[in-house]
Amino acid sequence: MPNRAQIEALVIESVQLLAEDFEIKALGTLDAGTCLYGADAPLDSMALVNLIADIEDAVSEQFDASITLADEKAMSAKNSPFRSIDSLTEAIADRIEA
């Protein structure tokens, strides 16, 4: 079972690769507090779809776990799990534990 720091590192690496692919300059320096999706956040819906697919794939490769991030729980959550690197890290940890 990966620890939180390992999951956060995976998220940051995935966001970095996506920022390069989509040339998103607003995603220069990344840390747990970096906003990703929502009002005035740097990702549009298509970039978010790509990021989620990349992260699910990376989680499978690095942690040998099959997770679905955009599940019913995520869609009905009061606060979107995709709003920041920190919330995304937590959502991944929740699903790996489940």
Cα 8 from Cα 93, distance rounded (Å): 9
Stretch that binds other proteins, among 32-40, 49-57, 71-79, 85-93 (CB under 8 A): 49-57
Among the listed residues 6, 16, 26, 60, the single contact to other proteins using CB under 8 A: 60
Regarding 57 and contact with other proteins (CB under 8 A), the answer is yes
Please state, in angstroms and as integers, the Cα–Cα distance from residue 58 to each residue in 9, 20, 34, 38, following that order: 11, 17, 20, 23
Query: CB of 73: closest distance to other proteins in angstroms?
Result: 18
Cα 62 from Cα 78, distance rounded (Å): 30
What is the distance, to the nearest Å, from the Cα of residue 63 to the centroid of all Cα atoms in its chain?
15
Among the listed residues 1, 39, 46, 98, the single contact to other proteins using CB under 8 A: 46
Do the beta carbons of residue 28 and residue 15 sit within 8 Å?
A: no
Stretch that binds other proteins, among 30-38, 56-64, 71-79, 89-97 (CB under 8 A): 56-64
Stretch that binds other proteins, among 33-41, 45-53, 70-78, 80-88 (CB under 8 A): 45-53
